[in-house]
Amino acid sequence: MRALVLLLLMLAALPARAEEVIAGLSQNRVSLTVNFEGSEILIFGAVRRDAPLPEGALDVVVTVEGPPLPAIIWRKARRAGIWVNTESQEVRAAPSFYAVASTGPLRDILSPDADLTHRISTRLAIFEARGAVDARDPAAFTEALIRIRENEGLYQSHADAVQLERDTLFSTRLTLPKNIVEGRYAARVFLLREGDVVDQFETVIDVQKAVLERWLFNLAYRQPFLYGLLALGLAVFFGWGASAVFRLVRS
């Protein structure tokens, strides 16, 4: 309720525009702890207007995009009775995580030109990041990457998942899975009128390892010898402690 009141106050303070989308998130920071099992984020907002409601269908699309990472997709083929890698496609910077939620299926509410301009759909987000074409059918490799990451929960598509009330208030929930990487995640909200983008809002979600997890991660990769000594010392300590407790119980 407090977030909604704050949102309405922000709308009132903004300069006049025909249609403008304002949004907020339930949290802008996610900590990756040892027992992290995922995090659900509520994305909500409203549409501010300075004129009567325009004609045409209004829709909202919400995307959350993780930091880009390189990837190599392989195609397997059967050779002499054995499945081996035969062809590959290199991707310079595909999103490590990509989720799309909308008021309806993208093919029905988003024009191809608007999708190409703003690269909203998952396929175009990867297509623009694709490197030099090494394969005879690069589109098949793109679809394979989407399919693999969908199975891992890293690529998500949720049609009809954005609730739009009276063409003004909207909300949706997206889940960051436990296997995400740390970094800055771009959350974008697109306001569509008859398939075209009339306004958009963007903010950032910071995903970082917790203090202890980050310290151990840096120690393991930057000073592996010290990390090994620490792991050995902890193993000895807990082994001795368990032995002492066992002797105490037996006595």
Residue 233 has pLDDT above 70, yes or no: no
225 band by pLDDT with thresholds 50, 70 and 90: low
- Note the CATH architecture for domain 2-66+97-209: Sandwich (2.60)
Q: Which residue has the higher pLDDT, 136 or 191?
A: 191
Q: Is 75 helix (H, G, I), strand (E, B) or coil?
A: strand
Domain ranges of the chain: 2-66+97-209, 214-250
pLDDT of residue 72: 82
CA distance 211 to 129: 32
* pLDDT tens column, 96-140: 999 999 999 999 999 999 999 999 999 888 864 444 445 566 677
SS (H, E, C) 79-143: ECCEEEEEEEEEEEEEECCEEEEECCCHHHHCCHHHHHHHCCCHHHHHHCCECCCCCCCHHHHHH
| Lowest-confidence pick of 107-121, 141-155, 190-204, 225-239 | 225-239
For the entire predicted model, the pTM comes to 0.74
